[in-house]
Structure 1
Amino acid sequence: MADQGVRPPVVLRGATVLVMDDAKAVLTGADVLTDNDKIAAVGPSLAVPEGTVEIDASDGIVMPGMIDTHRHMWQTVQRGYGADWTLTQYFVYYYLEHGKRFRPEDIHAGNLLAAAEAIDAGVTTCVDWSHNNHTTEHADAAVDALQAIPGRFVFAYGNIQAPPWEWSTTPEFRDFVNRRITGDDMLGFQIAFDIPGDPSFPEQAAFEVARELGVPVTTHAGVWGATNDDGIRLMHEHGFMTPESIYVHAATLTEDSYQRIAGTGGSVSVATESEQSAGQGYPPTWAIRKHGIPVSLSMDTSVWWSGDLFSAMRSTLGADRSRDHLEAHGNGDTVTNHALRAEQVVDWATRGGAKALGRDDSLGSVEVGKKADLVLLKNDASPVSFPILNPYGHVAFQAQRGDVHTVLVDGRIVKRDGQLVGVDLAAIRRQVDSSLDYLRSEMGDEAWQQGMHPDVPEVALVESPYQYNEFHGAAPASKAQDDGEGG
């Protein structure tokens, strides 16, 4: 997105403000004033410059823009298609069969839709875990789409159609980085690949490219049947585990791997909806909390799940708490106090993402001098909008994307009064429809339908011994006759 110059100041008036600082400050009846791309002041009844855009935030919640650290944005072109998939079916569909059919224009369409979806839901920064760049033309199309939408993005370059030690060392990849990754504050960069655990550690070459470029590696770790403790051990033994490393899922790792992550300062991107449904492993927050490993949240892919972090917060609280209850009940015990609180998952959705991306100096909290990436939750038409008694609980359990009233990214209003600003949804729809027509024609109708509706396994029903047959048929009538004869 081309820079539009100086932004007019904006003031959000009279809100409950979740500052998301170390003091866990919650302000009531407070204003938030922006100046160009920064937060200029936070407090009650602020005086504002002439020409300031005033937005009534009373009865609403102002919070930092949410940050998603792992989203396969290109797959959004097939939103909901894989609702009934397992992880195995996902791998077969995208890695082995139909993912290679995607053209640059299909990647572009998916990224446009996903980027618009993100800011609409108050996700002001999103990591595009873009792992279908089997040519640099695909990567160019992905970045073109990200830069066409007024959000903040991190492009994580990957390629599931080739091993990382091959594609990351090509002149074409280096040319792409030199052309497209220019230090733009609105477009960060990571390298994305997985480490299955080959003892020869061929991924070392890709890690060395990342180190030379000075960019983080993000990797799917602890995914059942795909990546495991061997990958973590190899990274550690070769010195490639750093504070910038992001371990996605980390759901089937042992204590030793968690200790290595904790000891090297890395963070885990938890995608609870994904882990619960697809089968990477049980969502790991219950296991990593005791190690003090930093956590961020992600939603993974809209080919299955929701594209917002409200669902991520809600499902993470549910999974963590249900695990605690299950273990307690197995021991004949009862959980009397929750270990994971609503406040913590809101922190993970904001500050947690900022820390994972190394941007907590400028993102993730509502503080003077930070970037003006802000979200106003306010829906006067909804009975769920009041009362706001516990604002963290309200965000985590009550709010949803339809309650996102206003969004600012870098000081620009990109959504107001519930409507996106500067996004042509009709044009995006046309591109998505064109890509879907192409993909369906390439697969054929039968394969398209089969991909969306995988077989349902048979379930053997258990015969119940509790059959109340004695109350059926003639028994009641017979009793009535007996009663009559005796009268």
Structure 2
Amino acid sequence: MSPSAPPTRTLLHGGVVITADPATDVLPRGDVLIEGDRIAAVAARVEPPPGTEVVDVSGRIVMPGFVDTHRHTWQSVVRGYAANWTLGQYLAGIHSGLSRHFRPEDTYVANLLGAVEALDSGITTLLDWSHNLYTPEHGDAAVQALRDAGLRAVFAHGGGAHEWGAVPSDVPHTGDVRRIRSEHFSSDGGLVTMAIALRGPQFTTPEVNAHDYALATDLDLPITVHVGDGEWGRSGPVRGLHRDGLLRDRTTYVHCCTLADDELRMIADSGGSASVAPDVEMAMGHGWPATGRLLRAGVRPSLSIDVCSLNGGDMFATMRTAIGVQRALDNEHHVREGSSPDRLDLTCRDVVEFATIDGARACGLGDRTGSLTAGKQADVIVLAPSPATAPLNNPLGAVVYAAHPGLVDTVYVAGRCRKRSGRLLDIDLDDLVRRAVRSRDHLVSAYPDAGSGSEWFPGTVRPDDRQ
């Protein structure tokens, strides 16, 4: 799949421009000039240089591409299976069940499908929390799929499912991460970069946790780690990291639901970031999403799709869940006391920033993407007009409360057009879906408990249904 080559210059002219940059904010009518892979100018009026392709986006929203800071993309081909599962059932059904039957080709197809799904819905940057890498070939396949999809991605190497087989685990993070770093990511400047996804103190012995953090330091990789999910999160994982001198600014803490307030302040004091996955946290009993508590502690959260074997993979739904849940929590004491708030603490602007610039910063890419700022790479999406959003009285509110993936008309990644007029470019979707079905058929056939007659898999299809 070869991405479409960008024209020398493209001017997106006359749109409603949400920049996620406080210097320019929201332009009711503005222009965005793209030169090569960069944003050259953002202003109310930009005079196009000779030879510029001018695209009329009047009445359309132009904004930064979304950033998903935590997704287990390899689960895309088993989507829907976890829709009615508890967290315990998910760990058993996926990590102890279906995961062990993934071949490298299944990992490739799943990562490609999930990355294409993200791109199609306006997510231009995806952190792939890849923790089903049984063999070196699985790791190679996962990386190649991200590159073939053509989006910006962070490949977060999470080892194999056998490392999650017991809690706490005494199995160190696989040494193949060194080969991946050397062979695929000798430079940190590509469209696909690397991080390390660690199990952390909740899920490992202290000795293994110390080994894994030392490995991340040795490889000079940013860390993404689960903390504060359910009862495991009440064990003081961030306090443990603080005690052992392992808090650092290049770490993203995923979930944070059941962390104590002092642990959230430790994250803030260390310069760390957070990733909130409100749909999965609500569905699987991780605890209340920590959005408001993180803000009060001084941490701007980012947003995560997380377990795509459970929920859909678009940022619009995630933003709505995040703001709806937090506003309910903020209003709860007023409901209880019979009073009314003077104002809403969490705004639509906040949530759009969580999904864009705050996500880019969490991925260590805030200087490259996340806002429409001159000099940054041109990761831009254009939303088509719709009865659901017209008239555009409040563009930020329209994005959070009314927009949906079907409105994503155009997508640029590093200046290359990946989607135009509602159609993905350079991707054979029919072939990709056929390959995904074949992988699904193999996995379900190899795992006998995955039949539609199983208590855990109600309403799901068997391979011979050929969907």
Superposed displacement of residue 3, structure 1: 7.9
- 1:428 corresponds in structure 2 to 432
CA 1:165/1:55 → structure 2, altered by over 3 Å: closer, same or farther?
farther
Number of the residue aligned with 2:66: 66
Tell whether 2:353 aligns with 1:347: yes
Residue number in structure 2 paired with 1:187: 192
In structure 2, the CA distance between the partners of 1:220 and 1:433, relative to structure 1 (3 Å rule), is same
> Could you tell me whether the CA contact under 8 Å between 1:378 and 1:385 is conserved in 2?
no
TM-score by length of 1: 0.88
More displaced stretch, 159-168 vs 127-136? 159-168
State whether residues 197 and 231 of structure 1, in contact with CA within 8 Å, keep that contact through their aligned partners in structure 2: no
Give per-residue Cα distances to partners, 1:134-188, cap 9 Å, x unaligned. 2121111111111111110000111331268745352x33222211113242111
Contact 1:134–1:162 (Cα < 8 Å) also in 2: no
Identity percentage of aligned residues: 37
Tell me the secondary structure at the aligned position of residue 296 of structure 2.
helix
SS in 2 for 1:299: coil
Instruction: Give, in whole Å, the separation in 2 of the partners of 1:295 and 1:230.
Output: 20
Between 1:89-98 and 1:44-53, the stretch displaced more is 44-53
Alignment of 1:98-113 (within 5 A): 98-113=98-113
Name the count of aligned residue pairs: 452
**1:311-340 C-alpha deviation (Å, 9 max, x unpaired):** 111111100011122222223433231100
Partner of 2:38: 38
Letter in 1 for 2:161: I
Hey, what does 2:14 align to over in structure 1?
Answer: 14
Is contact 2:107–2:142 with CA below 8 Å preserved after alignment? yes
Residue by residue over 1:183-219, the C-alpha shift from the partner in whole angstroms, topping out at 9 and shown as x without a partner, is 2421111111222166634211111010011111111
> Following TM superposition, by how much is the alpha carbon of 1:66 offset from its aligned partner in structure 2, in angstroms?
0.8
TM superposition shift of 1:43: 2.3
Report the equivalent of 1:95.
95
Deviation at 1:52, TM superposition (A): 2.7
Q: Does 1:54 align with 2:58?
A: no
Question: 1:162 is matched with which residue?
Answer: 163
Instruction: Give the structure 2 partner of residue 174 of structure 1.
Output: 178
SS in 1 for 2:22: coil
Alpha-carbon distance in structure 2 between the residues aligned to 1:169 and 1:135: 10
Q: Between 284-293 and 176-185, report the one with greater CA deviation.
A: 176-185
**Cα distance in structure 1, aligned partners of 2:453 and 2:326:** 35
> In structure 1, what is the equivalent of residue 85 of structure 2?
85
Offset, 1:46: 2.6
RMSD over aligned CA atoms reads 2.1
Aligned to 1:331: 337
Q: Is the 8 A contact 1:63 1:375 kept in 2?
A: yes
CA contact (8 A) 2:196 2:223 kept: yes
d(CA) in 1 for partners of 2:161, 2:333:
38
Q: Deviations over 1:63-104 (max 9, x none)?
A: 111100001101011222221111111111122222111111
Question: Which residue in the other structure is 1:276 paired with?
Answer: 282
Greater CA deviation, 323-332 or 206-215? 323-332
Cα distance between partner residues in 1 of 2:329 and 2:76: 31
**2:462 aligns to what?**
none
1:135-284 alignment runs, 5 A limit? 135-158=135-158, 159-162=160-163, 166=171, 168=173, 170=175, 172-183=176-187, 184-194=189-199, 195-196=201-202, 200-284=206-290
Partner of residue 411 from structure 2, selected from 407, 410, 414:
407
Q: Secondary structure at the match of 1:182?
A: coil
Give deviations 1:363-400, integer Å, cap 9, x for gaps.
11111111100011113xx3123100111101100111
From 329, 354, 369, the equivalent of 1:363 is 369
Structure 2 equivalent of residue 289 of structure 1: 295
8 Å contact kept, 1:262–1:291 = yes
2:463 is aligned to: none
- Distance in 2 separating the partners of 1:178 and 1:270: 31
Question: Which of 391, 401, 409 lines up with 2:395 in the alignment?
Answer: 391
In structure 2, distance between residues paired with 1:139 and 1:165: 22
Tell me, yes or no, if structure 1 residue 453 matches structure 2 residue 454.
Answer: no
1:115 aligns with 2:120: no
Corresponding letter in the other structure for 1:115: A
Please give the per-residue CA displacement for 1:267-295, whole angstroms capped at 9, x wherever unaligned: 11011111111111101112222111121
Cα separation, partners in 2 of 1:448 and 1:68, compared to 1, 3 Å: same
Instruction: Determine the C-alpha separation between the residues in 1 that align with 2:429 and 2:439.
Output: 15
* Residue 319 (str. 1) matches residue 325 (str. 2): yes
Q: SS of the residue aligned with 2:236?
A: helix
**Amino acid across the alignment from 1:327:** H
CA distance in 2, matches of 1:201, 1:7: 53
The SS at the match of 1:343 is helix
Pair 138,449 (structure 1): closer, same or farther in 2 beyond 3 Å: farther
Q: Which AA in structure 1 matches 2:118?
A: A
Residue identity matched to 1:278? M
SS at match of 2:232: coil
Q: For residue 434 of structure 1, report the CA deviation from its aligned partner.
A: 1.1
Amino acid at match of 2:330: D
AA matched with 1:73: T
Give the conservation status (yes or no) of the 8 Å contact 2:67–2:359.
yes
Residue 12 of structure 1 contacts residue 57 of structure 1 at CA under 8 Å; is this kept in 2?
yes
Residue 448 of structure 2 corresponds to 444
| Amino acid corresponding to residue 142 of structure 1 in structure 2 | A
Deviation string for 1:405-437 (max 9, x for gaps)?
111000000011111111111221121011011
Give the TM-score normalised by structure 2: 0.92
Counterpart CA distance in 2 for 1:179 and 1:369 is 29
Q: Which amino acid aligns with 1:403?
A: L
User: Which ranges in structure 1 are unaligned for 5 or more consecutive residues?
Assistant: 455-487
Residue 466 of structure 1 is matched in structure 2 by none
- Choose from 395, 398, 418 the match for 2:422: 418
